[in-house]
Each structure stands twice: as C-alpha cells, then as structure tokens.
C-alpha cells in the first residue's frame, strides 16, 4: 500500500476519533471492495453506542469517505444485534443491488442506517 494512501487513512482515522471524543477508541480503518461492486471505508470502534453518534460524527464520516475517494451514498453502523453497541461505522458507495437493500426498512438486524441511502 502506498505511503500516501496510508497517511490519508491515518488522517481520516484521526478525524473520526476527534469527532467521537475521548471516551471512544477508533482502532482501525479499512478500505473495502465488496464482491457485489460496493466500495467503502469502515472504522472499527470501541466504547461507542448509537446515541453517541452526533451530526458532527456523521459529517466526519462523510468527509472521511470523500477524502478516501468513497462517495457517501450511505453512512451506517454495525451493532451487536439487539443492543445499541456499535462495532463499526461505515461509509459506502452502493451498487444497484445494495442501494435497494439499504433503502428498505431495516436492511439487516445488525445494520443501522444513519444517513443517506435514498432511491435515486
């Protein structure tokens, strides 16, 4: 991986960490390409619950996605099912299949759409 890309990822990890505050830990940021065609960026977090996610955090996630070349079609959290505990926060450019899935009621019990994913 290029040093330039690593530096950009590190800068975005810091951006999201700053938005979440000192009680949270952002342990890792991953860029991904899904088999279906979606691309995205995922921030692994500890010490975050859904109620901790402010507009500032959502804005930070969108900006982080853009800075890494990921159009923020949807911002979502993956939670421990049945709880408010967030495992990771993600920004994703949706493929056509996932656009339909994410714009539905609840895509999956472990995914909480926080922003975006309207039909276009």
Give me the residues that bind Zn ion (CB under 5 A), please: 36, 38, 95, 98
Closest CA to 104 of 115, 92, 94, 113: 113
CA distance 29 to 10: 8
Q: Quick check: 68 and 15 in contact, CB under 8 A? A: no
- Which residues does residue 89 pair with via DSSP β-bridges, in sequence order? 43, 77
CB of 99 to Zn ion, least distance (A): 8
Tell me whether residue 23 or residue 105 sits nearer to Zn ion (CB atom). 105
CB of 101 to Zn ion, least distance (A): 8
Tell me whether residue 25 or residue 36 sits nearer to Zn ion (CB atom). 36
Tell me whether residue 26 or residue 38 sits nearer to Zn ion (CB atom). 38
Tell me whether residue 85 or residue 113 sits nearer to Zn ion (CB atom). 113
Q: Quick check: 42 and 29 in contact, CB under 8 A? A: yes
CB of 5 to Zn ion, least distance (A): 22
CB of 106 to Zn ion, least distance (A): 17
């Amino acid at each position: 991986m290029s040093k330039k890309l690593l530096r950009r990822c590190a800068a975005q990890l810091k951006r999201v960490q700053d938005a979440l505050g000192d009680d949270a830990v952002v342990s890792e940021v991953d860029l991904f390409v899904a088999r279906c065609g979606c691309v995205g960026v995922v921030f692994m977090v500890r010490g975050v619950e859904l109620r901790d996610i402010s507009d500032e955090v959502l804005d930070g996630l969108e900006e982080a996605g853009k800075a890494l070349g990921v159009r923020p079609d949807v911002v979502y959290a993956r939670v421990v099912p049945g709880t408010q505990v967030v495992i990771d926060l993600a920004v994703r450019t949706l493929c056509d299949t996932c656009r339909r899935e994410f714009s539905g009621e609840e895509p999956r019990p472990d995914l909480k759409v926080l922003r975006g994913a309207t039909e276009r």
